[in-house]
Structure 1
Amino acid sequence: MTSYVAASEQCFKEQFLGQSDFQAKPLSVGGTEYRLYYYETMVDSSLVQDFILKPLLARPSDPVREVVSILDYTETEHMEEAFEAIVHGKTVLHREGESRYYLLGADLKKGRSINIPTNERILRGSNEAFIENIDTNLNLMRKLIPSTDLVVNSYSLGRLSKTKVAVMYIKSVANLCFLEELDRRLQSIDIDYLDAPGFLDELVRETKFSLFPQLLITERTDRARSYLMEGKIVVVTSGSPDSIVLPVTFWSFFQSPDDYHISWLLGSFYRLLRLVCFLLTIGLPAFYVSVSSYNPQLLPINFANTLQSSLKYVTFPPIFETIAMMLLLEILREATVRLASPVGQAIGVVGGIVVGTVVVQSNLASNTMVIVAAMTGLASFIIPSYEMSSAVRLLSYPAVLLSSFLGLFGLVIFFMMIVIYLCQMSMMGQPYFTPPFALSEFKDTLIRSPIWNLRQRPDQTAPRNRMRLRHPRSWKK
């Protein structure tokens, strides 16, 4: 048997050849030979010392299962499983006279602490955000939803990356058809390296070339919990602080958890304001091109005279100055995001003021165009979803081009094309853009009704249990 242990050790060394942090440690306890295989950069040496080596030295003749005091304990007779356990940070123990391998979880736990969300501003609600450690993220959700109805299904995706993916849902509420379809799509992924959430978004989305986001991404734990309670599915991955929510509709990208922590009147107002800003971001630059080039008669006479006087000495036609100012706004935004925070803020403020002043004084753009560009940028930033905000800004470019050829008629055609395109989109078999004309859907889409009036969960996800509130304000007789 000793030769078998030696042969096994030789296989391990050949598998991990050239890896300086791989260790194959021989250990002799009470006349019995052991081998420990592990990455020294991935294991916690104190755990190995206290919960593996010391118990073995104290009870050398007892079975390993009874000696080692580690919760993460499994056995296997397949060497490939032992190889995989090592690359995940486990310690593999091999005992003389046995053909099985003991896989012991003594991996080193390191990661940043739980912090506030950095990409989603919090006005009210929880200040805890997801981090890169998937176990910590699942721990946060288990604490927020202390119920056996919260189910977690785990996957390992990527032939080389072995990315851990966890799918969460409430079994008494979620639609089983969505779960089966998502499981089919995840199981069919065959890729070497999976980086989430971007890779998952493109691999499981319904429409491959759509500019509109089809999965909602959030790092807020309270937001993920609220969607779980509505019957949706939340996916978290190792190495990313963002979670994925699906299936979602067009209206989900204009909702914020803060809407439910303030008065329902204010929440409704802000939600309507976001939808208005969605239309402004797409249509305001195109409307400027239309009225300045084709349809100035649509404006009041005083405003039309002011607009024409501001364009009198401008060098370029309205279409060129509009696209140039929109591109300049994107450049300033990217510079602000990519640079360090103090420097980025300074460049954003100084660059906006200086560039805006220079282009007007140089007659490269009109005063009105600078105002339109500023309003367009601000309107896009009010949308809670970064993905939807970016998509809306890109949509403004074809709207401007179409308006430069057909005027206001071209802008109307473009909005009609967007509505038709949204109506034919779907996600997990559910319509992506359902007009909220039904009273049950209108309550929590265009506006935010009072909590006591939201008796049922949204119908878009078709949950098995739609009843959310049974006896609202029952204290009042």
Structure 2
Amino acid sequence: MRQHPSIEAAESYFKQLFSEQSDFQSKQLLIGGNVFKLFYFETLVDSSLVQDFILQPLLLRPQDSIREVVSILDYAESESLEESVQAILYGKVVLYQSGDSKLYLLGVDLKKERSINIPTNERVLRGANEAFIENLDTNINLMRKLINSTEFVVKTYTIGRLSRTKVAVMYIKSIAQTAIIEELDRRLTSIDIDYVEAPGFIDELVLEKKFSLFPKLLITERPDRARAYLMEGKIVIGTAGSPDTIILPVTFWSFFQSPDDYQVSWLIGTFYRLLRISCLFVTIGLPAVYVAVSAFNPQLLPINFVNTLQSSLKFATFPPVLEALSMMFMLEILREATIRLASPVGQTIGVVGGIVIGTVVVQANLVSNTIVIVTALTGLASFVLPSYEMSSAVRLLSYPALLLSSMFGLFGLAFFFMMICIHLCQMTTLGLPYYTPPFSFRDTKDTLFRAPIWSLRKRPLGTVASNRIRTRNPRSWKR
């Protein structure tokens, strides 16, 4: 609704709306025969900016227009009281001059943010040491410094009836698919909720409803990693108040890639990528294989290994399946305790607790030596995965695999892996396939393997890029 308020009406409207806000300020100034009124939250504005760029210029040039006097980049004019209320809530000063039909919205908000620091959750050996912070404008600044192109597009949304959370969608116009951008825009604009807390809310509000443990979006705190996915045709979503950005649509294989893969030789990068994929099977299947060969299929193992296994189980109190379940559950407790406690205490609890519990349960003949080794290897293998979300999903999948193996042996484990493959093939993100079996060599060059950069001439089909040409003549120096 457009209004032409008087100074009395504006003051009455603001005071009625913010009557319970102790930090709301309404200041009146009489300068050069003109009455000026300032409305703002003192906890949101920078008082020095108000003094230097609003009050002093008005005192020196009271007869000039506000636009000529105030030297602030974040300047806007409005005739709507509702729009002015939103400006006040965002940390702006609303300036009113008697006899004027306009309200002047001046951006002098107080900037309180932590400095740009090194990534804490995605540490790599080589590469940039900058991480996103909670300020969305700063995060966009980091991205624009990395991508100096007019093709880099940033679109902002305001989501949440109460929180009014600012959300930024970033993509490369010449690479990203227009249909995916339009579909994401439709889903974001249709969100009707009180507040948004990213990245969890975006995952459940934007992506397809599907009961699955596998993550459908990639979360990163590294600007260089976000840039790499933008160059593959992906979309990056950042939200105010969160240092994590969301990358979508992604495939199953994206969760096994790390920035380190592209900073070392392609042979070394391929080895570590295959190691991560192997750790996926170890995390899901190792406890299940232990139970299956102990209770159902010991004939599949060499005789010396069977003798060692049987001797370790001879004095164990619990059967193999309960051994595995109890030790895996104990590992989850230790892991959660180390995360929730303060860093020095958490590290001590993790080391001491693991050693004490592992030693005591074996000496008390509650479990066998072998299951302690199996549980430790399973935990280490889960930590190799670069994505926290994928690591958590894989650890949880080991429980149903363990139960099926305890009932049907290795046939139950094989059936479980078959069901996982079927489930992955049914999943989609923004209407695109989530999992493509690695049968095509062209697409495995940057999924299962990390082929040389000069050979990656096209983006894989899973990147959903509208422009699949990545490099044209990367080694033109070679005769």
Q: After TM superposition, is the score higher than 0.5? A: yes
Determine the structure 1 residue equivalent to 2:311.
Answer: 309
**TM-score, with length taken from structure 2:** 0.98
Q: Residue 42 of structure 1: which of 41, 44, 50 is its match?
A: 44
Question: Structure 2 matches for 1:151-230, cutoff 5 A?
Answer: 151-230=153-232
1:52-85 Cα deviation digits (max 9, x unpaired)? 1111111112111111110101111110110111
Q: How big is the shift at 1:99?
A: 2.2
SS of corresponding position for 1:436: coil
The equivalent residue for 2:342 is: 340
Q: Indicate the residue corresponding to 2:472 in structure 1.
A: 470
> What one-letter code is carried by the residue in structure 1 that aligns with 2:44?
M
Take 1:49 and 1:307, find their aligned partners in 2: how far apart are those partners?
Answer: 78
Question: Which runs of 4 or more aligned residues in structure 1 lie more than 6 Å from their structure 2 counterparts after TM superposition?
Answer: none
- 2:259 is aligned with 1:291: no
Q: 1:3 to 1:111 in 2, by over 3 A?
A: closer
Q: What's the CA shift for 1:440? A: 2.1
- How many residue pairs match? The answer is 476
How far does the alpha carbon of each residue in 1:214-240 deviate from its partner, in whole angstroms, 9 at most, with x for none?
000000111000000111000011100
Q: Any conservation in 1 of the 2:234–2:464 contact (CA below 8 Å)?
A: no
Q: How many Å apart are 1:29 and its aligned residue?
A: 1.1
User: SS of 2:43's equivalent?
Assistant: coil
Q: 1:58 maps to what in 2?
A: 60
Which residue type is aligned with residue 433 of structure 2?
P
Deviation at 1:439? 2.3
- The aligned residue for residue 104 of structure 2 is 102
* 2: CA distance, partners of 1:288 / 1:463: 43
Corresponding position of 1:83: 85
* 2:274 aligned counterpart, secondary structure: helix
Instruction: Tell me the distance in 1 between the aligned counterparts of 2:438 and 2:407.
Output: 33
Give 5+ residue unaligned stretches, structure 2.
none
Could you say which residue in structure 2 is the equivalent of 1:278? Answer: 280
Partner Cα separation in structure 1 for residue 412 and residue 351 of structure 2:
34
Secondary structure of 2:236 counterpart: strand
Residue aligning to 2:149: 147
Cα deviation, 1:334-363, whole Å, max 9, x if unaligned, reads 111111111111111111111000000111
Partner of 1:351: 353
Give the match for residue 252 of structure 2.
250
Contact 2:273 2:449 in 1 (8 A): yes
CA contact (8 A) 1:202 1:208 kept: no
> Any idea what SS the aligned residue of 1:74 has?
strand
Tell me the TM-score normalised to structure 1 length: 0.98
Give the SS at the match of 1:153. strand
Q: Report the secondary structure of 1:357's partner residue.
A: helix
Question: Would the aligned equivalents of 1:284 and 1:376 in 2 still touch at CA under 8 Å?
Answer: yes
Is this contact kept in 2: 1:116–1:129, CA < 8 A? yes
Partner of 2:73: 71
CA drift at 1:208: 3.3
Mapped partners of 2:195, 2:79: distance in 1: 28
Amino acid at match of 1:29: I
Query: Retained in 2: the 8 A contact 1:175–1:461?
Result: no
Which amino acid in structure 2 is aligned with residue 109 of structure 1? K
Shift of the alpha carbon at 1:3?
9.7
- Does the CA-based 8 Å contact 1:430-1:461 persist in structure 2? no
Which segments of 5 or more consecutive residues in structure 1 lack a partner in the other structure? Answer: none
Q: Percent identity?
A: 70
1: CA distance, partners of 2:10 / 2:262: 60
Alignment partners' CA distance in 1, 2:197 and 2:464: 30
What one-letter code is carried by the residue in structure 1 that aligns with 2:15? Answer: K
Q: Which of 261-270 and 427-436 deviates more?
A: 427-436
1:415 Cα offset (Å) = 0.4
Structure 1 partner of 2:420: 418
Task: Confirm or deny: 8 A CA contact 1:207 1:425 kept in the other structure.
Answer: no
